[in-house]
Amino acid sequence: MRSRIRTRIESVMTGPAAAPAISLAGFLSVLGTVYGGMTKLRAGAYGRGYLSVRRLPCRVVSVGNLVLGGAGKTPMTIYLAQQLQSMGFRTAVVSRGYGGRAERTGGIVSNGDRLLMGSADAGDEPYMMARILRGVPVLVGRDRYLAGKAAVGAFSPEVIILDDAFQHLRLYRDIDLLLLDASNPFGNGHHFPRGMLREPISGLSRADAVVMTRWPGDIPPVPSTGVPACRKGSQRLPLFHTAHVPHIRRMDPGRTSRDIPTIQDAAADASPAVVFAFSAIARNSDFVNSLNSAGYTVMGTRFFPDHHRYSEGEIRGIIEAAKGVNAGMLATTEKDIARIGAGIRWPIPLIVAGVTISFGCQAEAFHRFILDKLGSSSPGEVT
């Protein structure tokens, strides 16, 4: 029963903007109006100084978005951490750790050299980032200020990246990056729970730059500054464009998720095959589309709610379903593999799909923007 209600509400949230006044959508619209008004008042209270903002003794860069669900915050955080590290900045990542046991208490997921938490404690996104990032500590905590202080005390970072923190207004940031999905930037235009908006669209005026993710086709040669909605006061915000570049990791039968080999480009896989796909992410359909684009034939799917933690029984059911449609491989995502028991031994090949962010020809302009906003050249740059 609860599952049916949730499914119905989610269909309204992602459905068309227009709906009868006397309906579930109409009721949720009333709640959404109240929610949107409250978030606007809260942002205004911080902006006018009625609510205090705390500062960390280092530079802070926030990555976030206006809507619920995936706009590419995690791959953007990874990209930014790697770029800042390559520029010579000591960098750390702080995330809320949504769904992890350490969300409330806080803690260190990785010291940059080794993992100190599993995904059940860290949450799936921080755990995934910690597995990918080398030399960049990853910490979690609902109170991002306390988590940031812990990062400063333990690792002395010059820059802290806040993952999914556009609405976390209690902590000062030097750069606010707002991500918008080019295919659906504002959902149906309604606030939660009628739609996907976390706050009014006017909130983008707090951003220092807007990054359009999943840009279709070729990335424009230069960032845009002519979008009327993208303003901070009288100043037009820079608008960057990025593409999601898929990559695939493959495990042969008899291996566990501890054995996932080095990332390889999907295009380099010599024998794309028939797969059975399963995932529990914000946009499961995007995962299937990425498999199709990489040349795989998806014969069956099994989807779960975002952040779902798999039981051994569910994994056995997925394996049997794959065999039932004669799929030669299983396919899942990087976020999902973090939520599956590391000791599970896969009887058929498993491919793990992920994405990286590419700014294309706008990369140099974006890097210069970051350096300019941080107020100095990179430590390794001669001026």
Report pLDDT digits (tens) over 185-212: 998 999 999 999 999 999 999 999 999 9
Q: Over 90: is that where the pLDDT of 220 sits?
A: no
pLDDT at 78: 98
Protein fold of 245-356: Rossmann fold (3.40.50)
Give dist(CA 37, CA 307) in Å, integer.
28
CATH of the domain spanning 59-242+359-374: 3.40.50
pLDDT at 171: 98
pLDDT at 269: 52
- The percentage of residues in the chain with a pLDDT greater than 90, rounded to a whole number, is 62
pLDDT at 250: 82
The backbone region for 47, taken as left when phi is positive above 0, alpha when psi lies in -120 to 50, beta otherwise, is: alpha
Instruction: Report how far apart the first and last C-alpha atoms of the chain are (Å, whole number).
Output: 64
Give the orientation angle of helix 363-374 with respect to helix 73-86, to 10 degrees.
70
For the stretch 125-159, pLDDT in tens is 999 999 999 999 999 999 999 999 999 999 999 99
The confidence band for 18, taking pLDDT boundaries of 50, 70 and 90, is low
DSSP one-letter code for 261? -
> Distances from the Cα of 188 to the Cαs of 50, 179, 270, 288, 316, in angstroms?
32, 17, 40, 22, 37
Q: Which two tokens stand for residue 147?
A: 């988590």
For the stretch 335-378, pLDDT in tens is 898 888 777 888 988 989 888 999 999 999 999 999 999 986 45
The model's pTM: 0.88
For the stretch 241-277, pLDDT in tens is 999 988 888 877 866 666 554 444 544 455 558 999 9
Q: Which of these ranges, 23-27, 58-62, 208-212, 374-378, has the smallest mean pLDDT?
A: 374-378
Asked whether 72 and 290 are in contact (CB, 8 A), the reply is: no
Q: Which residues of 31-41 are buried (b: 16+ CB within 10 A; e: fewer)?
A: ebeebbeebee
Report residue 319 CA to chain centroid gap: 28
Give the residue from 261, 275, 266 showing the smallest Cα distance to 248.
266
Average pLDDT, integer, range 172-182: 96
* Bridge partner list, 72: none
Give the residue from 275, 251, 272 showing the smallest Cα distance to 330.
275
Domain ranges of the chain: 59-242+359-374, 245-356
* Bridge partner list, 93: 138, 161
pLDDT at 3: 65
pLDDT at 380: 42
Q: Over 90: is that where the pLDDT of 114 sits?
A: yes
Q: Which of these ranges, 111-115, 143-147, 250-254, 318-322, has the smallest mean pLDDT?
A: 250-254
Q: What is the mean pLDDT of the chain?
A: 88
Give the residue from 370, 306, 319 showing the smallest Cα distance to 348.
319
Q: Would you say the CATH fold of 245-356 matches that of 59-242+359-374?
A: yes
Asked whether 174 and 206 are in contact (CB, 8 A), the reply is: no
Q: Which residue has the higher pLDDT, 18 or 238?
A: 238
Place of tokens 């009288």: 234
Give the residue from 93, 96, 95 showing the smallest Cα distance to 160.
93
CA atoms within 13 A on the CB side of 296: 31
Give dist(CA 109, CA 119) in Å, integer.
9
DSSP one-letter code for 170? T
Q: Which two tokens stand for residue 365?
A: 């302009």
Q: Which residue has the higher pLDDT, 223 or 94?
A: 94
Asked whether 321 and 276 are in contact (CB, 8 A), the reply is: yes
pLDDT at 97: 94
Give the residue from 208, 198, 189 showing the smallest Cα distance to 59.
208
Q: Which residue has the higher pLDDT, 159 or 218?
A: 159
